[in-house]
Structure 1
């Protein structure tokens, strides 16, 4: 298949920037990475060992006439500045998440995108995670009826690295690092207007930023969506737990496709048909249904899109053949919810999104 060859420059050649280079090189034939710039002088040698041109500054990189795409993979507080400069230099931009530090910054970036006619998008790669795709299919196929509680949880036990991710000024903390991914999944999944946000965030190791957070988002359609990100947890829970008015579903493993759906095959059941006994009393409301009244099955695994589709879609958008898979409206809504999260962290109360 013939295609137009695009050339890309990486701004910020750290772990994430180098990952993009390696995966574009190996998996995206439409794009050739031709150079990179990193503010740390010692990274120039790494860039050159990769066979890339090492630029002396971002401005030097933007002046490269053969490149039409710039990838921004710097600390979060530089995303706005580099994105705007690249577009004003005539480049299309892929920016790592979070797109910016807040909605106001994003609005500045989107205004320049419109003024220059350059394509701008955000690398929200977790929309392609297999576990998320299974959950999305469960809801779209109405396998458990209308969801009312959704728990999206991710656990690690290494904590934040002690680099820029631990500093507030650079956009450190798990809210910017991981919760923004799960918020993006949420916006893609729930087609309703978010109303309010409450956040419980804690500082375990680093005093300036959150190591762990719990986010509760309420939607106009009645869904309560909880996100839990814990970087100091040694015993995790199911990656997903979804309660619907016609069943319950779990998907236990991040990146996995296995799960379980349980539904009642008899909707109404007499209260007198069972009790649960404990040492301190009995209960009928919490008594389990008889096993013969339940139906259990594994959720179907949909056709799983590949991560390559992100860049292929971006190329198609640059060439005028497609709309962006991750829209500006979605990115803006994620940032509006994120802004409300930070307001809730400050106030200790639920905050309205709008």
Structure 2
């Protein structure tokens, strides 16, 4: 099997915990370079990948002809600059979600990747969550009839402000809409396609917060309403997914286990039950013909990187495209505009 040399640009929690173990579980991808200057992260990178070159200069990656794929794992406001430089250097690129803070930047990267004939993808890994894959199966089977309403939550209880750039003011791409919202928006667009209009209520609820920490975004379709919600002051959580159709409904509590498993040091390689949800958090289906538990599909974040590998080799079409990721950012832009103007914004 052909090996592709992978360089990680960044080795904070996004690199060390959430990406490196997944990439390492994909046959054909080999992490050969890691860019980081933080002493703690340098030490961790050397321990985790003793044969990889741990570098402090991005040029050492860009100028190395052996590097095939660069994974951008840096704060959101740096995505555009680092992805652009990698594409200009002739490297395939995967950017951590969201692709960029603006559609203008995303459009420039898309154009550049097309010009260079390079793969540009985004780590919208949560479309490979167990619950989303289960909903895809449910919709394909048409057990609920015509879907009229879909609601999903990504809630946390964190009264304190978390240190770091995600909750800092005046940093492009900070705040809950770019962080958790980009996951929920990508999932919805994957399930239902582009909406006709967007309506949003975006708030700062915690007294010390400087950036939005709560949102409700509505994606409006001709015969379907999609509600996306997230907040940092939700203790005692309700359903994560609720779906209503002409033949019945589906309700799901609990979240995909992969993120928590990665935090605990588990990996797809050492966990034979990777991505499989326990029956106690399977969803509940209630239709004209059927009532009871509906078995969850396995979640697997490796699918994204397996597909990127095959797309680079020319064997598969890219599943998570930069254009799809750009549409996520367009929804975010329209959500902020809707919140300011207090009206629906046509999707364009």
TMscore range, shorter length: 0.7 to 0.9
Asked if the contact 1:194/1:218 (under 8 Å) is kept, the reply is yes
| Distance across 2 between alignment mates of 1:205 and 1:54 | 41
Give the SS at the match of 2:294: coil
Q: Any stretches of 5+ residues in structure 2 without a counterpart? A: 257-276
Q: Verify: 1:166 aligned to 2:178, yes or no.
A: no
Partner of 1:214: 216
Q: Verify: 1:314 aligned to 2:314, yes or no.
A: no
Asked if the contact 1:200/1:213 (under 8 Å) is kept, the reply is yes
| Distance across 2 between alignment mates of 1:301 and 1:33 | 32
Give the SS at the match of 2:185: helix
Give the SS at the match of 1:298: strand
Structure 1 residues 118, 162: CA separation in 2 closer, same or farther (over 3 Å shift)?
same
Q: Aligned pairs, how many?
A: 320
Displacement after TM superposition at 1:140 (Å): 1.9
RMSD of the TM alignment (CA)? 1.9
Partner of 1:36: 34
| Distance across 1 between alignment mates of 2:295 and 2:41 | 45
Moved over 4 A (4+): none
Displacement after TM superposition at 1:205 (Å): 4.8
Displacement after TM superposition at 1:47 (Å): 2.7
Q: Verify: 1:54 aligned to 2:54, yes or no.
A: yes
Structure 1 residues 46, 301: CA separation in 2 closer, same or farther (over 3 Å shift)?
closer
| Distance across 1 between alignment mates of 2:207 and 2:40 | 28
Partner of 2:72: 72
Give the SS at the match of 1:306: coil
| Distance across 1 between alignment mates of 2:119 and 2:325 | 14
Q: Any stretches of 5+ residues in structure 1 without a counterpart? A: 266-294
Cα displacement string for residues 161-198 of structure 1 (whole angstroms, at most 9, x for unaligned residues): 22101124142211111110010000010135332322
Structure 1 residues 337, 38: CA separation in 2 closer, same or farther (over 3 Å shift)?
same
Partner of 2:317: 323
| Distance across 2 between alignment mates of 1:318 and 1:138 | 31
Give the SS at the match of 2:325: helix
Indicate the structure (1 or 2) with the bigger Cα radius of gyration.
1
Instruction: Indicate the structure whose relative CO is greater, using CA pairs within 8 Å and at least 6 residues apart.
Output: 2
Structure 1 residues 131, 309: CA separation in 2 closer, same or farther (over 3 Å shift)?
same
